Amino acid sequence: MIKIYHNPRCSKSRQGLEILENSGKEFEIVKYLETIPTQEKLKEIIKLLNISPIDLVRKNEKIWKEKYKGKELSDTEIIKAMVEIPKLIERPIVINGNKAVVGRPPETIKEII
């Protein structure tokens, strides 16, 4: 089943959700600020996305700039930061089987549905 990691306050995430709704396919919504992914789940998502953990971080978030910017962090430390502060996770993330994309721009979601 298709899964979207969604933040209702984010316009790109809402646009991604609309693409899924219009697709007519079944999907599951994970509001990741409420149901925070574990470190293991984030590692799985990052592997599906085929990116480095730092590429999933919202580097313009104030908390990132204040706490982490300019520091040498391991992949494990970056993942731990995203679990502790989930608003650092880029969104929306859509997973369909063994494929995943970050919906930025939202149209990239169409590639995997």
State the catalytic residues.
Answer: 10
Report the interhelical angle of 75-84 vs 39-49 (nearest 10°): 120
Query: Nearest Cα to 23, choosing from 5, 45, 2?
Result: 2
Q: Which residue has the tokens 């204040």?
A: 66
CA distances from 110 to 16, 42, 60 (A): 9, 22, 26
Is the backbone peptide bond immediately before 92 cis, with ω within 30 degrees of 0?
yes
Cα–Cα distance, 107 to 82 (Å, whole number): 25
